[in-house]
């Protein structure tokens, strides 16, 4: 794979993470339709992970079918409560033995964010290991790597690549499948069922080695 192909593939993969992240926030029907969120997601997935694009297409159809209020009610029932979270969207619930939020894994995630030069906005109400936040962080790392490569900053690009591999393999892949299983077991809503399947297939497909040099184009490493 040449450098231009590599950069395009990376950016498209980043777009998949970003658009899937948006899908885990409270649904804003008019805005999402205006921006073509699900059309853009399907277009990107067809290039990166065609098997997941089958579900993103169904997400779009279901999003059009359900009234906005129905989507919001189901979102709250799955991810907010008030009494019981059917599918807690927080990594620490699945990764830490105590099965609680803001556990040891959350602290580690915060540390990685800080090392990447990021901090949590005081106005942001979600926890740092919310699935939407972690997916968006992957998008950030990928685009930072692409930008570094475009500026011929190879050492920076390699470090960002290593962080991607570490974060994906230790903080996303170990718990996102469990979240998706909880969603599918807890809802009959077709949109959220398809979202769970889409994320499940995509996260399983993406492979970023923690040894950053393994998958870089050799022309960059010479």
Reported as a single tens digit per residue, the pLDDT across 65-106 is 999 999 999 999 999 987 788 999 999 999 997 667 778 999
Share of the chain above pLDDT 70, in %: 93
pLDDT for the residue 213: 53
Name the DSSP letter for residue 170.
Answer: I
Provide the number of structural domains found in the chain.
1
- Band (pLDDT 50/70/90 cuts) for residue 218 is low
Residues 98-114 have pLDDT tens digits of 667 778 999 999 999 99
User: Is 90 exceeded by the pLDDT of residue 126?
Assistant: no
Give residue 102's pLDDT: 78
Alpha helical stretches, state H, 66-122: 68-79, 91-95, 104-115
Distance CA 139, CA 15 (A): 7
What span, in angstroms and rounded, lies between the C-alpha atoms of 82 and 123? 21
Mean pLDDT of 15-42: 95
pLDDT in tens, 168-204: 999 999 999 999 999 999 999 999 999 999 999 999 9
Which pLDDT does position 128 carry in this prediction? Answer: 93
Cβ proximity of 186 and 87 under 8 Å: yes
Q: Cα(192)–Cα(62) distance, rounded to whole angstroms?
A: 9
**What is the pLDDT, as a whole number, of residue 192?**
98
186 touches 78 (CB < 8 A): yes
Q: Domain of 28?
A: 3-221
Residue 168 DSSP class: I
With contact defined as beta carbons under 8 Å apart, do 45 and 199 qualify? no
Q: Which CATH number do you get for residue 128?
A: 1.10.3480.10
Asked if residue 214 has pLDDT above 90, the reply is no
> 90 has which bridge partners?
130
């Amino acid at each position: 794979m040449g450098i231009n192909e590599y950069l395009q593939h990376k950016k498209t993969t980043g777009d998949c993470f970003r658009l899937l992240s948006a899908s885990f926030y409270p649904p804003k029907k008019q805005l999402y339709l205006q921006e073509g969120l699900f059309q853009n997601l399907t277009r990107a997935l067809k290039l990166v992970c065609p098997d997941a694009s089958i579900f993103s297409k169904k997400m779009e159809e279901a999003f059009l079918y359900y009234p906005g209020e129905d989507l919001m009610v189901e979102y709250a029932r799955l991810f907010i409560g008030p009494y019981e979270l059917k599918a807690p969207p927080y990594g620490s619930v699945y990764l830490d033995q105590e099965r609680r939020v803001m556990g040891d894994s959350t602290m580690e995630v915060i540390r990685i964010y800080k090392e990447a030069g990021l901090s949590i906005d005081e106005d942001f109400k979600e926890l740092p290991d919310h699935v939407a936040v972690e997916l968006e962080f992957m998008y950030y790392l990928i685009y930072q790597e692409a930008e570094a490569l475009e500026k011929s900053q190879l050492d920076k690009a390699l470090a960002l690549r290593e962080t991607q591999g570490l974060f994906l393999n230790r903080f996303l892949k170990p718990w996102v499948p469990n979240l998706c299983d909880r969603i599918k077991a807890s809802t009959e809503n077709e949109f959220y069922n398809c979202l769970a399947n889409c994320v499940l297939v995509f996260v399983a497909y993406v492979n970023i080695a923690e040894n950053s040099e393994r998958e870089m184009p050799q022309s960059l490493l010479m």
